[in-house]
Structure 1
């Protein structure tokens, strides 16, 4: 499906045109002027330089680790603290008719639900679901001098701290966009802001929450996900696909206990060598190609064309995004192939290990076992459970030398492929590019995953999707020195306000 559709020609005599650029609007919609762009921009600027930055900074300082990284998350209470903090701030904004509720099912991390009724004239426009999350990654290493994961620091237009760009800002962009829309005389359908607290743990609780809230959410006609981003901070970036993921811990055991390597080597194959042989079944170590057919798909023509357009935008720019070691080369000299490798092809990374002592204290020992944590990124349309079953078969069937192999501790999530934009959304995005950023929006696939999107795609197959956000290629998401571009966050807020206004004025189905 091609999401890079051209903006429709709204001057065609076959469509009656209102002064607001949407054909066949109802009389109720037509009497309300469109949102005033300058008023919206001023309201957003005042909000961000006032209440938003202070509240977001305090949110950064809450060590709200995702449940996967804090086994005692419920007792520690940091996730609840984050949700309570944002709830109190949203309630202080005084949005007309808004209701804020913390929802928490037994044994599941809390969720914040903000429900804002539609403006007059937009009550039949369905529900807009705005999504973000409040849980965070761990610190992951040493931060630069003066910075820290739970310390909010503003430097040169950047807000540093864990959760600033992934994904604390989302609550403030969504709420401030609705505020600005009201201040600028715009319209919006019913808006529901859903902020979960387990996204960094692959959103294991969201299916239960969606089922629990299904009757309250109603007919969702637009989803705006604020947990993504793009290659720069110069324009609005739209995510058109997300890879799925499969993580597993593999243990190869060759001995009951470790023994002297001089005594056993050459007789007992090392657990590491057996592990290497098993991984060769999964990946071609020379090319990085994943050999398993269950993990590969044909790349759609429109996504290949999208990759070509991205490569042309920044020739030789793909490799430049990464701090390569001196002399290191990337996997290909072809930027298009690198982009497709990262968005539509599977890839294997070894992200953890045990059974291996630190080199400084390693003795002459043939170790009893080796464990590796494998992370496989899967193409957007691959079924992660099918891939999981195939991985287990490949690693446990006909194991070399009869070694014992255990595969477990799985973490899986399906990818997502965006539906094509309807004309009203294509028009809205064109206006955002012109009025807010001064550059056309761009679309791209992402190598990461947002489990919620695949779930929402299945739950609301008729909805339109805007998956965007403030993450740039250098925002240090998941690593030390994470930061949010504050100027871009403001422009993103104005863009969301425009999209909500256009959605409310779109032609009836």
Structure 2
């Protein structure tokens, strides 16, 4: 069995990322394959099929022995790419690697010359929607395996799942996982390459993910708009009613959410938050594009980390029922609609929260008004169990070799529905949840980018851990 050369691995994977991966990611960025919740006509529009065609055609760019793949698309569900790679050089273990290829919608505010479907390479970063969240994942998996085989180094049996509806809450994934269960078998380790990184200086392991409930709150006061002077004082403002209803869930003064959305926080969370604050410092606050300078106490950084990862939060992400300000007349509007997103603590039950929020928002509507809350996505969060010693060693070695710094652990404020499902399905499995979306990379927003050097380094780390497992470190 060959010994892995980190320098040769770095050079080989770097050559793959410069070509062909960069060119493939540029083509991928051009495809507006928005997730189904944002593009209900996704099948008719054909963009999802275009993305699948590009990604599956690209598999042939990688020299990997023992690889085969299928595209599954059943009963109108979004397609899923499934790749199997046999164990190499008698490698031990069974690994499942995960990513997704669907995208968030365009959003506004892109810098001049940049756009969601216009790939721009600038200062080693590829701008555009979806390259880092999460188009890079399939290429990271394949180039990691190709890099090990190029040196004749062992790796375990690997299956790779690349789904097409993660940004919609992964509604199709449970069906496909059941269909694929005999082929996936029981993994020893799951890699999820769809998370954040605290900085670009080391490998980051995600230890928790928040859950999510989203839906549309609609407040109706009239069947049609009327003169605001003629109705004011008799007919209430739908916007005022909406604000009043939201106050039942969120205190507008300090942003605190009602107790029913909170959970007990494990003791280890505060310890980890202090460690993250010590490493990241001001980056915890300065990673966001504030409208004006943000003033804060450095002593509060750790509590900010905990609030971002284990507290519930709420945002109005979309508004309807009102014209643009420049064309707004003096009319009392008949309704106000608000798309709401609740991020839930990792241990919260999303179904219970969903039921509570709906009842709380819809109860006791003011006389003459109609209030409805229609939920479209509900997903529970996840938090990890302790990392086994062999995996801890492999992760630290990988980060030291390819980043020059030890790896770090942190919770993440986002949601990956796949993780809770897999943790329930494979309770004995270890999880490596990592990613490339660091400070200012702005997933889901304008000016999203993939830092290419970080992608290469994360790929090398994935390869290193796969080789450690394939060499039997997990059973020694």
Instruction: Quote the Cα distance in structure 1 between the aligned partners of 2:54 and 2:324.
Output: 42
Instruction: Quote the Cα distance in structure 2 between the aligned partners of 1:330 and 1:261.
Output: 42
Instruction: Quote the Cα distance in structure 2 between the aligned partners of 1:466 and 1:181.
Output: 19
Deviation at 1:302, TM superposition (A): 0.8
**Paired residue for 1:5?**
none
Q: Deviating runs (4+, > 6 A) in structure 1?
A: 330-333
- On the 8 A contact 2:283/2:439 being kept in 1, the answer is no
**Paired residue for 1:152?**
119
Instruction: Quote the Cα distance in structure 1 between the aligned partners of 2:229 and 2:122.
Output: 56
The alignment partner of 2:352 has SS state of helix
- Counterpart of 1:117 (choices 72, 86, 90) is 86
Instruction: Quote the Cα distance in structure 2 between the aligned partners of 1:75 and 1:344.
Output: 40
Deviation at 1:507, TM superposition (A): 4.1
Residue 406 of structure 2 corresponds to residue 440 of structure 1: yes
Residue 75 of structure 2 corresponds to residue 102 of structure 1: no
Instruction: Quote the Cα distance in structure 1 between the aligned partners of 2:243 and 2:66.
Output: 60
Residue 121 of structure 2 corresponds to residue 176 of structure 1: no
**Paired residue for 2:103?**
136
**Paired residue for 1:478?**
444
| Structure 2 residues not aligned, in runs of 5+ | none
- On the 8 A contact 1:128/1:191 being kept in 2, the answer is yes
* Corresponding pairs, count: 475
- For residues 283-328 of structure 1, what are the alpha-carbon distances to aligned partners after superposition, in whole Å with 9 as ceiling and x for unaligned? 11111111141x1101111111111111122333322111212255
Instruction: Quote the Cα distance in structure 1 between the aligned partners of 2:280 and 2:22.
Output: 32
Assess, with a 3 A threshold, how the Cα gap between structure 1 residues 250 and 448 changes in structure 2: closer, same or farther: same
Q: After superposing the two structures, state which structure 1 stretch, 260-269 or 440-449, moved more.
A: 260-269
- On the 8 A contact 1:331/1:338 being kept in 2, the answer is no
Alignment of 1:366-385 (within 5 A): 366-385=332-351
- Counterpart of 2:165 (choices 174, 193, 198) is 198
- For residues 326-384 of structure 1, what are the alpha-carbon distances to aligned partners after superposition, in whole Å with 9 as ceiling and x for unaligned? 25557997112211121100111111111222222333332222211111110011111
**Paired residue for 2:41?**
72
Deviation at 1:278, TM superposition (A): 1.1
- Counterpart of 1:229 (choices 173, 181, 196) is 196
- On the 8 A contact 2:82/2:162 being kept in 1, the answer is yes
**Paired residue for 1:85?**
54
**Paired residue for 1:276?**
243
| Structure 1 residues not aligned, in runs of 5+ | 1-31
Q: After superposing the two structures, state which structure 1 stretch, 362-371 or 282-291, moved more.
A: 362-371
Deviation at 1:408, TM superposition (A): 0.6
- Normalising by structure 2, what TM-score? 0.95
Instruction: Quote the Cα distance in structure 1 between the aligned partners of 2:32 and 2:168.
Output: 15
Higher Cα radius of gyration: 1
**Paired residue for 2:311?**
345
Deviation at 1:117, TM superposition (A): 0.3
**Paired residue for 2:460?**
494
- Normalising by structure 1, what TM-score? 0.89
The alignment partner of 2:161 has SS state of strand
**Paired residue for 2:252?**
285
Deviation at 1:479, TM superposition (A): 1.9
Assess, with a 3 A threshold, how the Cα gap between structure 1 residues 402 and 281 changes in structure 2: closer, same or farther: farther
